[in-house]
Structure 1
Amino acid sequence: MSETVFGAGLRVAIMTDETGWHTARLKKAFRARGVDARCIDLAACRIDTTWQPYGLALPGFGHTLPDAVFVRGIAGGTFEQVTLRLGVLHALRECGVPVYNDARAIERSVDKSMTSFLLHRNGVPTPPTWAGESAAFAQRVLMRETAAGHQVVLKPLFGSQGKGLRRLGASARGDGTLVPLPSLARYQQVAYLQRFVGRSAQARTAREAGPAFDWRVLVIGGRAVAAMRRSGGRGWIHNVARGAHCEPAELDETLAQLAVRATHALGLDYAGVDLIPPPVSSDAPDAPGASPLVLEVNGVAAWRGLQTVTPFDIATALVDDLLDRRLAATIPPTAPMRHASL
């Protein structure tokens, strides 16, 4: 079905807690396909069993539902608030509305511990990770990793843009002093620890000198479509929000396959996959066969930084995948739209 035909007359809800650059790009891409796209805050939606016929009320849609939903942002809040907002997404799926990405996939990607578990379970290379509520266990992990010559990174279980990350291990003074585990109160009494993967000073001199970096790979509809290198920023944290510099990266087969496997492991329609170069041994800095490691998989990924080094319009690629793959598969050619059938 040609793009000029499929899309006209459809209505799509863009779920977001704030409007700006990303939502403007998405709305423009939807308009180019003849789709009426409107932004809705999940906090303004409600489950209402008296609201016929679906028991679900979305601002601007009356008693009807959108033909599809694009999840751009979910505001933080109490456990109950976030649960209800995700519940609305679950309810939309129960009503047969394609949700891109759906609630279950977002839950898996937002929870870093579940992301690590699923990556490991599906054989996707990722750093050793520990998550639990015991500060005593976390301290033992820290001591064991430090004794083995490793550092660990303490991260919020829910978080993004490099906020709240702390690197722990031997003191920077080089005297063997152990940096103690900080209070977990700031981390909601949950310790999520991941082995820090970096290059030793010896390994750095054995290879071409250059700043530390990571990769962001964008996967859409089961295909890796763009990649960039991020370097600089706040020391070892390479998020664009922290001032990292973006440059285009070659999307080789290894990066593409790892990113696609990671996205598939979490059941995401689209994802921003963060990868780091393989650990380098000071004994064999040029040893072949080492694989990059997947750090995180973002199910509500921003792409403003990536767009600056990508020749095609990312919002258009996302919209095309939603309409031509996800939505087209659910609507027979002769079927009326949800809002037109009532």
Structure 2
Amino acid sequence: MVKYGWVVYNGHLPGNKFRDFAEWIQAAAKEKNIRLELIKNNELLALHQQTGGTIFPEYNKRPDFVVFGDKDIHLAKQLELLDIPVFNSAQAITLCDDKIATYQALSAHHLPIPKTIAGPKIFPNPSALETASFIEAGKMLGYPLVIKEAFGSFGEQVYLVETEQGLIDKIAELRERPFVLQEFISSSYGTDVRLNVVGGKVVAAMKRTSSNDFRANVSAGGSMEVYQPTKKEIELAVAASRAVGTDFAGVDLLFGPEETPLVCEVNSNAHIRNIFDCTHVNVATYIIDYIVEKLQEG
């Protein structure tokens, strides 16, 4: 029987968002008589030596499972190597954390996404920026276009570029930071849909809208309202979650031409307070129920 687990969150990020997620998961577990301990990632150091890898310092009690509310992929992998079930898996977090990897997985599964071009690897301090391929990419995608840094959250590190010179200037500014170029979906300007998927089912959905920004993120000032997704949107969100291997995820969809849904992003560490405030659905309860079911199965 599942009795004890950990929720891992980042110990060095400012603000309370990440601990807040952990506390919601902890409270949902308590309702099921499961004790969850909140642990910062910096309190679990991976120790590697000839006798094998372990966690330092050692904890007296081994968890039945770990809810991994962070992007410390190497730590998540180390816990898996110790045969501790981790939700989401290190591989799923890896695919979601890196937008280049996300779009590779989505396109490999032939899911509808905006046309996306992965930027090349650029080492620090290049002698000169080769621009020919970027200029061709801009012509192919059209302007305005979106530049997204491969690593970023809350709609940050996402830029709308209006001209070819703006494209070159922004890439020169990013330099060695990985990025993608993406077609701008004008039909979804300032609007998207967040669907929370748990165990292959959509459990909550909201529409996010911004009146003064092409990004709809609530953390960037957008508003939210309860949304009833279509069958096509539900199927797409579930397929996107499966494509990157998440047990639970926040899947963001855009409204393409004629309102055809497109996958914008898949978030393995999606925060759940906003969607509760909007829909009154506690996603944490679904996450704990799913984990208990999976552990009982095997």
Same fold (TM over 0.5): yes
Instruction: Provide, for residues 284-314 of structure 1, a one-character-per-residue CA deviation record: whole Å limited to 9, x for no partner.
Output: xxxxxx6210010001111221111223322
Counterparts of 1:318 and 1:233, CA distance in 2: 33
Kindly tell me: are residues 99 and 195 of structure 1, through their superposed partners in 2, closer, same or farther at Cα, counting changes over 3 Å?
A: same
String of CA shifts for 1:84-118, please: whole Å, max 9, x gaps: x4222112222221100010110011110111111
Counterparts in 2 of 1:168 and 1:94: CA distance versus 1, 3 Å: same
Greater share of residues in helix: 2
Query: For residues 36 and 215 of structure 1, do their structure 2 counterparts lie closer, same or farther at Cα, with a shift above 3 Å needed?
Result: same
Matched with 1:329 is 297
SS at match of 2:26: helix
For the pair 1:141 / 2:126, whether they are aligned, the reply is: no
Please give the residue correspondences for 1:38-53 in structure 2 after superposition, counting only pairs within 5 Å: 38-48=37-47
Cross-structure match for 2:181: 193
Q: Does 1:231 align with 2:229?
A: no
* Partner residue in 2 for 1:309: 278
How far apart in 1 are the matches of 2:114 and 2:54?
Answer: 41
Larger gyration radius, structure 1 or structure 2: 1
Report the equivalent of 1:15. 8
Higher strand share: 2
Query: After superposition, what is the alpha-carbon deviation per residue over 1:201-252, rounded to whole angstroms, capped at 9, x for unaligned?
Result: xxxxxxxxxx841100000001111110000165111111101101000022
Which AA in structure 1 matches 2:181?
L
Structure 2, unaligned runs of 5 or more: 12-17, 123-129
Task: Name the counterpart of 2:125.
Answer: none
8 Å Cα contact 2:190/2:215 also seen in 1: no
- The corresponding residue for 1:164 is 157
- Residue by residue over 1:51-79, the C-alpha shift from the partner in whole angstroms, topping out at 9 and shown as x without a partner, is 99x842265723x52110001123xxxxx
Q: For residues 201 and 34 of structure 2, what CA distance do their matches in structure 1 show?
A: 24
Q: CA RMSD in A?
A: 2.5
Match of 1:205 in 2: none
Task: Identify the match of residue 91 of structure 2 among 104, 110, 117.
Answer: 104
Match of 1:296 among 265, 279, 293: 265
Counterpart-to-counterpart distance in 2, 1:14 and 1:234? 36
Q: Which amino acid aligns with 1:56?
A: T
Distance 1:236 1:31, change over 3 A: same
Within the candidate set 242, 248, 254, 2:232 is matched to 254
Q: Residues 194 and 205 of structure 2 are in contact (CA less than 8 Å); yes or no, is this contact kept in structure 1?
A: yes
Q: Residue 323 of structure 1: CA displacement?
A: 1.4
Question: In structure 2, how many angstroms separate the alpha carbons of the residues matched to 1:313 and 1:189?
Answer: 36
For residue 69 of structure 1, the aligned residue among 66, 69, 78 is 66
- 1:319 maps to a residue whose letter is I
Q: Compute the displacement of 1:50 (Å).
A: 6.8
- CA distance, structure 1, for counterparts of residue 45 and residue 19 of structure 2: 24
Q: 1:334 is matched with which residue? A: none
User: Deviation per CA, 1:123-157, whole angstroms, max 9, x where unpaired?
Assistant: 110001001226522232113433xxx42101111
CA contact (8 A) 2:187 2:256 kept: no
TM-score by length of 2: 0.86
Residue pair 1:142, 1:169 contacting (<8 A) in 2 also: no
SS of the residue corresponding to residue 36 of structure 2 reads: strand
Q: Residues 50 and 155 of structure 1: is their aligned pair in 2 closer, same or farther, counting only changes over 3 Å?
A: closer
Aligned partners of 2:7, 2:182: CA distance in 1, in Å? 34
- Confirm or deny: 8 A CA contact 1:157 1:187 kept in the other structure: no
3-state SS in 1 of match to 2:135: helix
Contact persistence 2:149–2:177 (CA under 8 A): no
Conserved? CA contact 2:45–2:56, under 8 Å = yes
Partner of 2:126: none
**SS of residue in 2 equivalent to 1:93:** helix
Q: Is the 8 A contact 1:113 1:131 kept in 2?
A: yes
Could you say what secondary structure the match of 2:297 adopts?
Answer: coil
- Pick closer, same or farther for the CA change 1:159–1:233 going to 2, 3 Å: farther
Could you tell me whether the CA contact under 8 Å between 2:5 and 2:34 is conserved in 1? yes
Q: Report the 3-state secondary structure (helix = DSSP H, G, I; strand = E; otherwise coil) of the residue aligned with 1:48.
A: strand
